[in-house]
Amino acid sequence: MRRKLVVGNWKMNGSRAANATLLAGVVAGLDGARADCAVCVPSPYLAQCQEALAGSAVAWGAQDVSDKPCGAYTGEVCASMLTDFGCRYVIVGHSERRAYHAESSDLVARKALAVLDAGMTPIVCVGETLAEREAGSTVAVVSRQLGAVLDMLAPARVAQIVVAYEPVWAIGTGKTATPAMAQEVHAQLRAQIAAKDAAAGASVQILYGGSMKPDNAAELMAQPDIDGGLIGGAALKAGDFLAIIHAAP
């Protein structure tokens, strides 16, 4: 069985004081967890994570990265800076980046490649809007988004990515895809990965994100192709985040 992975995406939240309490709470409550876990935090707090989490079972990472190497790109953060702070994961293509920063699937693919080249794991986000779901184009949309990344990777590297299916209409809304709805999309994504590389199809972790909470996490993660969660709001409270981690079978 693939190991489950639960990743907290703090989005643009945090303060040094609040982070210290949250991180200590998560570390203190991990005993007996069967899932791997990580937090993806705003870049200014990566040093704090490195200090608080080094040697613990909690990995850390960033929420975005430049597709470019170091250089004259004011305001950007390149992949080698993230490895400098011990990051294991980098979220790429989150729907909030696609929507508010006009990130194309092509740019997301280049970012995923930059993350891999730096020795980290990209968490590649895909997901449809409500209008796209209602138009019946969910599979077409997520396949196109994932396909842009797969097209840029040699088959041997496909196994090194993590995918997150995050229906845009379920993010921060309290609306969750039912386990069956999510499973159907996850199975499609897995088939698409397997078509590129059979071994990767079997091993790549596909996370679900979108209002995953302590009370629905177990049922979602019990689905055969749901390998964990990418958690927004519930990752900001140690108790809720831990409850989701412990809900992994």
Q: Which residues are catalytic?
A: 94, 166
Residue nearest to ligand 13P (CB): 232
The one-letter amino acid code at 34 reads R
> Which one, 183 or 197, has the nearer CB to ligand 13P?
183
Which amino acid is residue 95, in one-letter code? Answer: S
CB distance 206 to 190 below 8 Å: yes
Q: Name the residue nearer to ligand 13P (CB basis): 158 or 234.
A: 234
Q: Which is nearer to ligand 13P, 53 or 123 (CB)?
A: 123
At 50, the amino acid letter reads Q
Q: Which residues bind ligand 13P (CB under 6 A)?
A: 9, 94, 166, 171-172, 209-212, 230-234
The Cα–Cα gap between 106 and 151 comes to 10
CB contact set of 1 (below 8 Å; sequence gap of 6+) = none
Tell me the C-alpha distance between 249 and 246, whole Å. Answer: 8
Taking the complex as a whole, how short is the minimal distance between the CB of residue 230 and ligand 13P, in angstroms?
4
- Residue 63 DSSP code: S
Nearest distance from C-beta of residue 211 to ligand 13P, angstroms:
4
CB atoms within 10 A of CB 75: 5
Closest distance to ligand 13P from the beta carbon of 4 (Å): 16
CB of 1 to ligand 13P, least distance (A): 24
| Cβ distance to ligand 13P smaller for residue 120 or 167 | 167
DSSP secondary structure letter of residue 29: T
- Could you tell me how far CA 40 lies from the centroid of its own chain? 8
| Of 165 and 197, CB closest to ligand 13P | 165
**d(C-alpha 115, C-alpha 121), whole Å:** 6
Q: Measured from the CB of residue 24, what is the shortest distance to ligand 13P in angstroms? A: 22
Contacts of 186 (CB under 8 A, 6+ apart): 165, 206, 208, 223, 225, 226
Nearest to 181 by CA among 165, 193, 164, 192: 165
